[in-house]
C-alpha cells in the first residue's frame, strides 16, 4: 500500500512538475520577449534620431546590433563589437519587426532568440537586431533542483503518512493474528476480546470467535465420536477374546462349533460398524448429490421385493415421483429407515411416497412405542442408541439414522421425525430439480 501510494504520488508529482515547467517557461519567454522588444525599440529610437552611442546599451539581453542599408554593422553592444551580423533575416514587407530562433550563429554556440526591427532614416532603411539566449526546456538548473527537492519531499511525506496509516490500521489485525496463534497453541477455549468500535476489525474478531466456536464443537464431536467408536469396536472384540481365552483354558469342555458361531456374530458386528464408519467418512469428505433420475416409488418397490419383512408392510405409493440424486445412496437411506422401523414396529409398517408442490416426500412409519420429543434429535447423532433400541436389538451400530440424515442433506433435503398418533414417523423431503407436471 505504501509503495502504491508513493508511486501514485510520483506520477502526480511528475505531471505537476511538467505543468509547472511549462507555465514557468512560458512566463520566462514572455518576460524575455518583452526585454528584447524594449531594448530593440530603445535602440531604434536612438538610430532614428541619429544619436547612436559608440557602445549600445544591452540591459537584460544578450546583445544588440544596428545594420545599415548596405549590411554593415554600424553599432553594437560591447560583447558584439567587431563581430559580424548575428542574423541575416529581415521582417516581411508588411511588418515592422519579426522574431526568430537562430541556432547556432557563427560566433555563438547556443541558440538565440533574435528580433529584427526596421528603422527608417532619410533615404534608407536600417535594421536593429536584439538577441537573447533561448530559454531551455528546464528553464534553469536552479528550477530543476528546486523541483526535484519538492517532489522528493512530497514522496517522503506520502510514504511516511501512508506507512503510519496502514500500520495503525493493520495493528489490530496483527494483534488478532497473534492472539489466534496463542489460542490455537495453548487454550482453544479462550476467545478474542471484541473492540469497542463497530467496524471491520470488530466483525473480524466476531467471525474468528465464531470459527473458534465451530472448531471447538467439531473437536468435541470428534472426541465423542472417537470414544464411542472405540467403545463399540472394543466391546465385541473383548467378548470374543474372553470366549477364545476361556476355550483355550478348557479345550475339552468347549463347544467349538458354538464358539465359532459366536465369533462370527462378533465379526459381523465389527464389519457392520466398520462399513458404517467408512460410509460416514465418504459422506464427510464431500458428499455428491449425483445425477441419476431416481423413481422413489420404484425404489421402494424393489427394496420390498428383495426383503423378507418380519412385520406387515402397507404402502401408499404415488407413481412418477422422480428426483435427481445418487441411487445407491438413496437406497441406503431407505434401507436404514425400514430396518429401524422393523426393529421398533409392533405389528406393521406403513411406507408412503407422494409428490408435493416443490418436493418429493417419503414417509416410513411404525406402530411401536414411538420416540419422545426430547430424544428426536439425539437419535440422529452418531453412536447414540436409546435404551429401547438396545433392548430390541443389541447388535445395532447407532450409525444408521445419522447416515440416513447425512444422505438426505447431501441431496439438499431433510430427514425429520414428525408427530404421529402411534409409533415413529420418519419423513424425508427432497426438493425437485425440475418439478413434475
Per DSSP, the residues of 96-121 read: SEEEEEE--BTTBSS-EEEEEEEEEE
In sequence order, the β-bridge partners of residue 431 are 359
Q: What is the pLDDT of residue 186?
A: 82
Strands 359-366 and 97-102: unpaired
Q: What is the pLDDT of residue 288?
A: 62
Cβ atoms < 10 Å from Cβ of 321: 24
* Residue 349 to residue 342: CA distance in whole angstroms: 7
- CB-based burial label for 192 (10 Å; 0-12, 13-18, 19+): middle
For 396, residues 6+ apart whose C-beta sits below 8 A from its C-beta are 343, 385, 389, 390
* C-alpha grid cell, residue 334: 431407505
Q: What is the pLDDT of residue 107?
A: 53
Residues of the chain with CATH 1.10.287: 200-272
Residues of the chain with CATH 3.30.565.10: 288-431
* C-alpha grid cell, residue 343: 426393529
Please name the residue that has the C-alpha cell 533574435: 114
Q: What is the pLDDT of residue 415?
A: 93
Domain 200-272 belongs to what topology? Helix Hairpins (1.10.287)
* C-alpha grid cell, residue 49: 534620431
Tell me how far the alpha carbon of residue 344 is from its chain's centroid.
52
Q: Taking a C-beta distance cutoff of 8 angstroms, is the pair 341, 332 a contact?
A: no
**Terminal Cα distance for the chain, rounded:** 58
Its pTM stands at 0.50
Q: Taking a C-beta distance cutoff of 8 angstroms, is the pair 409, 428 a contact?
A: no
Residues of the chain with CATH 3.30.450: 1-139
Report the run of H or E that residue 317 belongs to, with start and end: strand 312-317
Q: What is the pLDDT of residue 285?
A: 65
Domain 1-139 belongs to what topology? Beta-Lactamase (3.30.450)
What is the CATH number that goes with domain 288-431?
Answer: 3.30.565.10
Q: What is the mean pLDDT of each run of 10 residues along the chain (437 residues)?
A: 86 87 87 90 89 86 90 90 88 89 67 90 88 82 86 90 84 83 82 80 86 82 72 77 87 85 82 76 67 90 88 92 90 91 90 91 91 85 67 64 89 90 91 68
DSSP-derived 3-state class of residue 286: coil
Amino acid at each position: 500500500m505504501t509503495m502504491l501510494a508513493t508511486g501514485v504520488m510520483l506520477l502526480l508529482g511528475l505531471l505537476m512538475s511538467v505543468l509547472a515547467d511549462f507555465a514557468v517557461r512560458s512566463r520566462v519567454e514572455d518576460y524575455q520577449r518583452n526585454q528584447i522588444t524594449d531594448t530593440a525599440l530603445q535602440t531604434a529610437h536612438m538610430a532614428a534620431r541619429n544619436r547612436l552611442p559608440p557602445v549600445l546599451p544591452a540591459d537584460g539581453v544578450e546583445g544588440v546590433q544596428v545594420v545599415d542599408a548596405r549590411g554593415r554593422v554600424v553599432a553594437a553592444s560591447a560583447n558584439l563589437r567587431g563581430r559580424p551580423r548575428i542574423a541575416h533575416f529581415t521582417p516581411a514587407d508588411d511588418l515592422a519587426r519579426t522574431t526568430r530562433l537562430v541556432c547556432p550563429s557563427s560566433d555563438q554556440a547556443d541558440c538565440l532568440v533574435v528580433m529584427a526591427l526596421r528603422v527608417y532614416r532619410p533615404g534608407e532603411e536600417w535594421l536593429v537586431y536584439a538577441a537573447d539566449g533561448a530559454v531551455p526546456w528546464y528553464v534553469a538548473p536552479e528550477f530543476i533542483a528546486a523541483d526535484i527537492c519538492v517532489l522528493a519531499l512530497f514522496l517522503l511525506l506520502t510514504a511516511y503518512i501512508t506507512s503510519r496509516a496502514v500500520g495503525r490500521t493493520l495493528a489490530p489485525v496483527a494483534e488478532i493474528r497473534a492472539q489466534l496463534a496463542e489460542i490455537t497453541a495453548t487454550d482453544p477455549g479462550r476467545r478474542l476480546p471484541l473492540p469497542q468500535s463497530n467496524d471491520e476489525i470488530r466483525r473480524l474478531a466476531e467471525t474468528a470467535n465464531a470459527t473458534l466456536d465451530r472448531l471447538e464443537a467439531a473437536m468435541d464431536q470428534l472426541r465423542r465420536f472417537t470414544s464411542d467408536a472405540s467403545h463399540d469396536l472394543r466391546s465385541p472384540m473383548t467378548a470374543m477374546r474372553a470366549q477364545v481365552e476361556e476355550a483355550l483354558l478348557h479345550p475339552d469342555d468347549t463347544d467349538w462349533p458354538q464358539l465359532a458361531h459366536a465369533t462370527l456374530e462378533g465379526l459381523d458386528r465389527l464389519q457392520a460398524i466398520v462399513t458404517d464408519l467408512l460410509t460416514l467418512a465418504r459422506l464427510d469428505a464431500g458428499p455428491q448429490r449425483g445425477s441419476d433420475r431416481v423413481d422413489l416409488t420404484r425404489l421402494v418397490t424393489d427394496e420390498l421385493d428383495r426383503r423378507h419383512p418380519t412385520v406387515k408392510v402397507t404402502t401408499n405409493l404415488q407413481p412418477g415421483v422422480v428426483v435427481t440424486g445418487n441411487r445407491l445412496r438413496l437406497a441406503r437411506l431407505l434401507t436404514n429407515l425400514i430396518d429401524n422401523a422393523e426393529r421398533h414396529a409392533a405389528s406393521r409398517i406403513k411406507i408412503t411416497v407422494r409428490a408435493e408442490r416443490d418436493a418429493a416426500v417419503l414417509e416410513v412409519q411404525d406402530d411401536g412405542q414411538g420416540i419422545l420429543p426430547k430424544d428426536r434429535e439425539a437419535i440422529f447423532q452418531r453412536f447414540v442408541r436409546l435404551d429401547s433400541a438396545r433392548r430390541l436389538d443389541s447388535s445395532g451400530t447407532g450409525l444408521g439414522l445419522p447416515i440416513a440424515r447425512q444422505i438426505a442433506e447431501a441431496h439438499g433435503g431433510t430427514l425429520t421425525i414428525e408427530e404421529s398418533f402411534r409409533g415413529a414417523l420418519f419423513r424425508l423431503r427432497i426438493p425437485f430439480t425440475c418439478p413434475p407436471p
